[in-house]
Structure 1
Amino acid sequence: MTAHDQIRKMLDELMGTGRDGSVPENLVPYSDPRVCRTFLLCCCPYDVLCNTRMDMGNCPKIHDPALRADFDKAQKERDHFFDIDALEHLERFFDDCDRKNEMSKRRLAETQEELSAECADK
């Protein structure tokens, strides 16, 4: 990547994709369903939990800082209610995490019972 490309990328992240008055033809708009709405709101669980025990890998949706800048600019003009979609996504994620935690607790309790039984037999 050349220095010119790096500067262009930094400007896109800072000012959005339409910073020079024209929007590239191949650009996906921030309102596209393929774009991660929780990323636009800075709370994507895939990013937040990266390198933790709950790491889930990469988000299957598009994460582009330039789209976040476009969204922030458009959000000042009118509310897009992406926060409602993000809340629903996070609630599903938390429910999944709670379910995994309960399964782990159950397995741990079973293992402790087995170990206690083995110790009692000795």
Structure 2
Amino acid sequence: MAAEQRKLLEQLMVESQRLSLNDPKVCRPFCVDFCVHELFAGTKLVLGPCGRIHSERLRSEYSSMDKIPAFEREFYRQLDLVIAERREAIEAAAKKLELTDDDLAQIEDATRDLVEAETENELLVDEINELARCRVIARAVTQIPALAAAQRNLTTKQQAVKTLFEGLGFSAHQKLQVCTQTTLPANCTRDTQKFKQL
């Protein structure tokens, strides 16, 4: 297996030495600055491998000569496409997190029910504690089944709120947010506004 890989690498290196800047197999954006396929390496947004050859020799050759407008245009066109795709993905994700009036009404009803259940539970606990403090034990004991029922009701309401929030794209403690950062990586040294001038 290693021998096959070495042979393939040697073959690619020989082929790379024969390539010129105008060869269609060459990745022009890589020669200009970088290939957009390298942008999101190691993330779930990875674009996959580039189908063209990345030659450091040709990149060095290009950097030592006058810029070729066709190369520059292709580089900026690819950047614009990636930026447009990311913006569309951000907008689509943001729409998924928007709440409808019905969603807001469900949240309001569920949280109101939860607050009522919590209040009922707290009042029963306070009442039982007060009865015990006043040594009215028989009366305090008669309230224990009501407290158990209130606690079951509270647990049911808490679960209902949790289920509702999870169904609406929330975690139990924090609303999901869409990252809107569209800044290019640090290895991008070009100004995309230059594309308009080409």
Q: TM-score, normalised by structure 2?
A: 0.41
Which residue of 2 is the match for residue 20 of structure 1? Answer: none
* Separation (CA, whole Å) in 1 of partners of 2:80 and 2:72: 12
> Contact 1:46–1:56 (CA<8 Å) still a contact in 2?
yes
* Separation (CA, whole Å) in 1 of partners of 2:96 and 2:62: 48
Which residue of 1 is the match for residue 53 of structure 2? Answer: 63
* Separation (CA, whole Å) in 1 of partners of 2:105 and 2:23: 57
Quote the offset at 1:42 in angstroms. Answer: 3.5
> Contact 1:36–1:62 (CA<8 Å) still a contact in 2?
yes
Which residue of 2 is the match for residue 35 of structure 1? Answer: 26
Q: Deviations over 1:37-86 (max 9, x none)?
A: 22223322211211124222222x2133xx33124225524432312210
Q: Is the alpha carbon distance of 1:73 and 1:35 closer, same or farther for their aligned partners in structure 2, counting shifts above 3 Å?
A: closer
Q: Which amino acid is 2:34 matched to?
A: C
Quote the offset at 1:95 in angstroms. Answer: 0.9
Quote the offset at 1:113 in angstroms. Answer: 6.4
What secondary structure does 1:30 align onto? coil
Matched, 1:106 2:95: yes
Quote the offset at 1:36 in angstroms. Answer: 2.1
Which residue of 1 is the match for residue 68 of structure 2? Answer: 80
Quote the offset at 1:114 in angstroms. Answer: 6.3
Q: Which amino acid is 2:105 matched to?
A: A
Superposed, 1:11-30 pairs within 5 Å as: 17=17, 23=18, 28-30=19-21
* Separation (CA, whole Å) in 2 of partners of 1:72 and 1:93: 25
Structure 1: 5+ residue runs without aligned partners?
Answer: 18-22
What's the C-alpha RMSD, in Å, of the aligned pairs?
Answer: 3.0
Match of 2:79 among 90, 93, 96: 90
Quote the offset at 1:115 in angstroms. Answer: 5.1
What secondary structure does 1:39 align onto? helix
Say how many residue pairs are matched.
101
Q: Deviations over 1:82-120 (max 9, x none)?
A: 12210111111111111111111111114x866543322
* Separation (CA, whole Å) in 2 of partners of 1:33 and 1:119: 57
- Larger relative helix fraction: 2
* Separation (CA, whole Å) in 2 of partners of 1:114 and 1:58: 44
Percentage identity across paired residues of the two chains:
16
